[in-house]
């Protein structure tokens, strides 16, 4: 689901047990080094805002930020709040499930509502 968009990037929500957002470039650059300086700055600015907001709202064990793009060769970054009790911790969310989890987190919808005006 698309959550936010401006002239350089857009942000999608990844459906998951953990708070997880993905930032994409609007233009389909394959590699970060191919992005214009303004796009790079917008990505870093947005990652910084999202990370700070996730830290203050959820108080996670760790924030994970990842960029792979092997299946989707379009520059994008994953920003995820991780918790010791989540299903995969300490493994990556693409790794081997460690346990069944029943995280009880603050409302993600409220988080998004508070985040939107900061972007």
How does pLDDT run along the chain (119 residues), one tens digit per residue? Answer: 999 999 999 999 999 999 999 999 999 999 999 999 999 999 999 999 999 999 999 999 999 999 987 777 899 999 999 999 999 999 999 999 999 998 999 999 999 999 999 99
φ and ψ at 20, to 5 degrees? -150, 120
- Sorted by where each starts, the structural domains of the chain and their CATH numbers stand as 2-118 (3.30.428.10)
Give the pLDDT of residue 92: 94
Give the pLDDT of residue 73: 85
Integer Cα distance of 39 and 94 in angstroms: 27
Give the pLDDT of residue 68: 84
Task: Work out the number of other CB atoms within 10 angstroms of the CB of residue 70.
Answer: 5
Give the pLDDT of residue 113: 98
φ and ψ at 109, to 5 degrees? -60, -40
Give the pLDDT of residue 71: 77
Give the pLDDT of residue 108: 98
What's the pTM? 0.94
């Amino acid at each position: 689901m698309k959550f936010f968009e401006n002239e350089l990037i857009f942000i999608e929500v990844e459906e998951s047990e953990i708070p997880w957002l993905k930032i994409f470039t609007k233009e389909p650059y394959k590699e970060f080094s191919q992005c214009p300086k303004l796009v790079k700055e917008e990505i870093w600015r947005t990652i910084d805002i999202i990370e700070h907001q996730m830290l203050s709202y959820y108080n996670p064990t760790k924030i994970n930020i990842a960029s792979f793009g092997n299946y989707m060769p379009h520059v994008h970054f994953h920003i995820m709040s991780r918790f010791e009790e989540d299903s995969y911790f300490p493994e990556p969310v693409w790794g081997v499930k460690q346990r069944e989890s029943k995280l009880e987190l603050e409302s993600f919808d409220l988080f998004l509502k508070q985040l939107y005006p900061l972007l």
